[in-house]
Structure formats: structure tokens, C-alpha cells
Amino acid sequence: MELINFFSCSFPMFNNFASLLTIIGFCITLFIAFQVKTIKQSFLRKAQLPELLKQLENEKVQMYTILSKNGKFDKKEKHVLSNLSTIKGILDNTEKKLPKGSKTKINELIKSLKDGKYSSKLITKIDESSSWKIYYELNEMYKHLQLLLSDTTWD
């Protein structure tokens, strides 16, 4: 104990120097933590986005098949709603793996699949024109995600 008191009393510059090193070490730790988070998100995007895109494409094709069949829409409505619930689940999962700039587009599409502006429930009633509108938005989102995936080759 006397040794510590000796250094702090005799050499006050060691106390200031140690404080400076502690602050520098803390800043380096924050920088490394931020870099690790960025690398993790990039890895998740590269690793899981191709599989999510395949699932989204399958659902998109299935939705097109359902919508393009002849007949009354009333008979197709339940199939469309079922397909939209699967698509919403895929989009929710995909949204977590996207960078902030791309999240706004996918969130807009997810909002269009909800029953109300602030509701978390999926829509329960839909007409044919709204279904086609959602399909076109889904097509646009799918292309956006494909381009984002091709951009990850540069990460």
C-alpha cells in the first residue's frame, strides 16, 4: 500500500498518464465493438440473404400463379391471404439483416400487409386490385434485394 501511495504522491504524472491510457483503451474498445457489429451484419446478409431470396421468389411465383388463374377472386382470396402471411414472415426476417437504408422500403411493404396503420395483425380482407398492387411492390422489393445481394460481393 505504501508503494502505491509513494507513486501517486511522488509522481503525479503517472496518475494522469494512467487515466489517459484508460480513456484511449475505452475508445479503442468502442471502435472494435462497432466494427464487429458491422462485420456480423455483413456476414448475416451474405450468408442468409440468398436463402431468404429463394423463399421469397417461391412465394412470389405462387402468388402470381394464384392471381393469374381464371375465376372469381372470392375463391382465390384465402390462398392469397395465406401466401401474404408467409411473405410477411419472410420479409420480417429479411428486414433484420438489412442495412438501415434498405429497411425503409421493406418496412413500407410490411405496413401494406398489415390491417391498420398501427396494427400488428395481417390483413384479413383483400380485393384483386390490392393483391396485384402488393404483388408489384413485392416484385420491386425482390429486385432491390437481388441487387443488394450482388452488392455484398464488394463487402
CATH number at residue 93: 1.20.120
Confidence of residue 116 (pLDDT cuts 50, 70, 90): low
Q: What percent of the chain has pLDDT over 70?
A: 84
Separation of alpha carbons 101 and 120, rounded Å = 23
59 pLDDT more than 60: yes
Separation of alpha carbons 133 and 52, rounded Å = 22
* Closest residue by Cα to residue 53 from 81, 87, 79, 85: 87
Mean pLDDT is highest, among 23-27, 66-70, 119-123, for 23-27
Does residue 8 lie in a domain region? no
pLDDT mean across residues, the chain = 81
Does residue 24 lie in a domain region? no
Separation of alpha carbons 112 and 107, rounded Å = 9
What is the number of residues in the chain? 155
Instruction: Give the total number of structural domains in the chain.
Output: 1
Residue predicted with more confidence, 30 or 7 = 30
Separation of alpha carbons 73 and 97, rounded Å = 35
The pLDDT tens digits of the residues spanning 66-91 come to: 888 888 888 888 888 889 889 988 98
Cβ(131)–Cβ(139) below 8 Å:
no
Mean pLDDT along residues 104-110? 82
Cross-strand partners of 114: 122
Q: Residue 64: give the domain boundaries.
A: 46-154
Does residue 20 lie in a domain region? no
